[in-house]
């Protein structure tokens, strides 16, 4: 089973390398492409370093792969200029924005939703296997981490845009004149994670016979003694 997982990860890695190489050719804005790929390089490095110690499921690797491929499309064109409307019009004769009533390029909004939808489950797997959380916390903590990391990324975008300024900063920020862009991005990432965790919970309700017992046990108080100053006093006494 481990060999199968390793081969599957190798296959996805090779396909992603091809996708990355193809989309690295003549991007719309080279500097923005390079900036967008900084976090991708860090993410891929983490996976490469950790896979021997924490080999994730095929589902998790597939979800990560899909998200990274979508991100590479956004970095090739910049998120605010991905020509999905032109592609849709070439296939159907009409624009996708007209079909759904959008007035702006919403590729960035879709990817923020996909961030939560696609990465919440891999995060859940890590929490279950490393932190050994169970029940309620196995669904809440992936949602919480997705929300907090989405906020952190928006702060990173703001900092990068302020640092580089000019056309590069605006291309990377990609607000398209919407003063609530960051808030909407965070809300969509949260909605994506909530959708993923809700689906996972419903699936486990159907498949897991002890779902209710595990959920209840996860919310039971494990330590009755107060912490804070009481814990500090206990630690101080032990030290004496």
Mapping DSSP onto H, E and C, the string for the chain reads CHHHHHHHHHHHHHHHHHHHHHHCCCCCCHHHHHHHHHHHHHHHHHHHHHCCCCCCCHHHHHHHHHHHHHHHHHHHHCHHHCCHHHHHHHHHCCCHHHHHCCCCCCHHHHHHHHHHHHHHHHHHHHHHHHHCCCCCHHHHHHHHHHHHHHHHHHHHHHHHHHHHCHHHHHHHHCCCCCCCHHHHHHHHHHHHHHHHHHHHHHHHHHHCCCHHHHHHHHCCCCCCCCCCHHHHHHHHHHHC
Query: What is the per-residue pLDDT across 78-125, written as a single tens digit (0 to 9) for each?
Result: 888 899 888 988 898 888 888 888 778 888 889 999 999 999 999 999
pLDDT at 47 over 80: yes
The mean per-residue pLDDT over the stretch 62-67 comes to 96
pLDDT of residue 80: 83
pTM for this one?
A: 0.87
At 166 the pLDDT is 56
The pLDDT assigned to 122 comes to 96
> pLDDT tens, 156-180?
777 766 766 555 545 555 555 566 6
pLDDT, greater one: 198 or 38: 198
**pLDDT score, position 94:** 84
Res 27: pLDDT? 93
Q: How much of the chain exceeds pLDDT 90, in percent?
A: 52
Would you place residue 198 in the very low, low, confident or very high pLDDT band (cuts 50, 70, 90)? very high
**pLDDT at position 31:** 83
Whether the per-residue pLDDT at 63 is higher than 80: the answer is yes
Which structure tokens are listed for 57?
Answer: 């499921």
pLDDT at 164: 62
Q: What is the pLDDT of residues 18-34, one digit of tens each?
A: 999 999 999 988 888 88
Give residues with Cβ within 8 angstroms of 69, minimum separation 6. 16, 19
Residue 4 is encoded by which pair of tokens? 């199968």
């Amino acid at each position: 089973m481990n060999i199968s997982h390793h081969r599957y990860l190798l296959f996805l890695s090779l396909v992603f390398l091809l996708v990355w190489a193809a989309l690295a050719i003549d991007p719309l804005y080279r500097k923005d492409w390079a900036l967008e790929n900084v976090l991708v390089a860090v993410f891929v490095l983490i996976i490469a370093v950790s896979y021997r110690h924490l080999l994730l499921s095929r589902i998790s690797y597939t979800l990560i792969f899909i998200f990274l491929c979508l991100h590479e499309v956004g970095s090739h064109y910049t998120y605010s200029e991905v020509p999905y409307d032109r592609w849709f019009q070439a296939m159907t004769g009409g624009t996708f924005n007209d079909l759904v009533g959008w007035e702006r390029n919403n590729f960035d909004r879709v990817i923020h939703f996909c961030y939560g939808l696609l990465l919440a489950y891999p995060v859940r797997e890590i929490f279950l296997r490393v932190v050994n959380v169970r029940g309620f916390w196995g669904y809440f903590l992936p949602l919480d981490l997705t929300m907090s990391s989405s906020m952190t990324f928006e702060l990173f975008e703001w900092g990068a845009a302020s640092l580089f300024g000019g056309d590069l900063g605006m291309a990377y920020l990609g607000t398209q004149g919407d003063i609530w862009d960051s808030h909407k991005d965070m809300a969509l990432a949260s909605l994506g994670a909530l959708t993923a965790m809700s689906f996972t919970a419903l699936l486990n309700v159907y498949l897991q016979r002890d779902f209710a017992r595990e959920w209840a046990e996860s919310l039971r108080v494990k330590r009755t003694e107060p912490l804070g100053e009481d814990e500090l006093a206990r630690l101080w006494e032990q030290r004496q």
